Amino acid sequence: MVICQGELDAVVPLEPATMPGRVVIQWDKDDCADMGIVKVDLLGLGMMAALQDAIELVNRGQVAGGRWQEGAGTADSHLQPTAPRPLPPATFDLAHIPMDDAKVYEMLQQAETIGVFQVESRAQMATLPRLKPAHFYDLVVQVAIIRPGPIVGEMCIRT
């Protein structure tokens, strides 16, 4: 996302994006920075959409999948899924997720983070068991240590 004063197309050249109805700028982040244009990377939009879909399914009581049970002698697998069973509707939203769930921090400390946004890289997984985040702020620090953005963007003082 690019933020500038006035009409964007008067400041930077635009071109049609691959996605219909969208446009992109023709400059990279360094060009934008040189011109004093604020460029913000919005990460994880696909995951945020998946979370929203999951929340809606939970709140409607619709779940995809059921339990696994012994199959009826199939050659390729001995486990077969049972029919999905609906759950009672719930009221769930991201704003009310507890920030102090001990099981979540245990999972993080054991680097069980495949598919967990911001902490699934090899560097994060190698560091999590050493730093052992136990609180949300510990996790903020953990992510900031590994992600190169602030350092590469010269937002930190190197000593």
Q: What is the pLDDT of residues 104-113, one digit of tens each?
A: 999 999 999 9
CA gap 154, 152 in Å, rounded: 5
The pLDDT score that the predictor gives to residue 133 is 95
Residues with Cβ within 8 Å of 123's Cβ and at least 6 positions away in sequence, in order, are 146
Selection from 23, 5, 21 nearest residue 13 by Cα: 23
CA atoms within 13 A on the CB side of 109: 13
Q: Answer yes or no: are the C-beta atoms of 59 and 89 closer than 8 Å.
A: yes
Residue 89 corresponds to which tokens in the numbers above?
Answer: 């509707």
Residue type (1 letter), 147: R
The pLDDT score that the predictor gives to residue 98 is 85
The pLDDT score that the predictor gives to residue 109 is 96
The pLDDT score that the predictor gives to residue 44 is 66
Residue type (1 letter), 47: M
The residue ranges of the chain whose pLDDT is under 70 are 41-44, 62-90, 148-159
The pLDDT score that the predictor gives to residue 155 is 59
Does the predicted model carry a pTM greater than 0.85?
no
CA gap 11, 87 in Å, rounded: 52
The 10s digit of each residue's pLDDT in 143-155 is 888 876 655 666 5
Other beta carbons less than 10 A from residue 32's beta carbon? 18
The pLDDT score that the predictor gives to residue 151 is 59
